[in-house]
Amino acid sequence: PNSGPVAEPTVMSGWQLAQFNVATAKFDDDDPRLAEFIDNLDRLNWLGDESPGSVWRFQSETGRSVDVKAFDDPRILLNLTVWDNLESLWNYVYKTDHVEFLRRRREWFEVDAEPVHVMWWVPEGHRPTPVEGIARLEHLRAHGPSPHAFSFRDNYEPPVG
């Protein structure tokens, strides 16, 4: 289905790709039905951190972003990372062990009719906050894809200059 971007790295442009996603767990963090996902977070985070093009990952003192509760519903988990380019993120998401957990997401997470993933370009060195990620996701949900907030399906090149 998704052909995805070409796997050639892009030339550094002074911009990096931020990505933010959310997922509403079907169960509380300590529920045994969520254990397999929770037990693999450190491995998946390490895999992402070590992937070519990975720049930065938002995390709490525990090393996990899912421990940060940025929503009224404590079952909404967040993830926020920065990458050198779209291709690097694509390769991590779809060409590593991460894809197996993505395929199984319905075992652990509610299906959401609205987008749960958003990307946008940030100046090299900028570290976005969950508040920025939430705002970009809300923009994508309200207005659809644009250079301000987009997805793998409808993505945009970094700004010029």
The model's pLDDT over 25-75, given as tens digits with 9 standing for 90+, comes to 999 989 999 999 999 999 999 999 999 999 999 998 888 788 888 999 999
The model's pLDDT over 135-158, given as tens digits with 9 standing for 90+, comes to 999 999 999 999 999 999 999 999
DSSP H or E segment with residue 23: strand 15-24
pLDDT at 1 exceeding the cut of 60: no
The b-or-e profile of 74-101 (16+ CB within 10 A means b, else e) is: ebbbbbbbbbbbbbbbbbbbeeeebeeb
Mean pLDDT of 113-130: 97
Q: What predicted TM-score, i.e. pTM, was given to this entire model?
A: 0.88
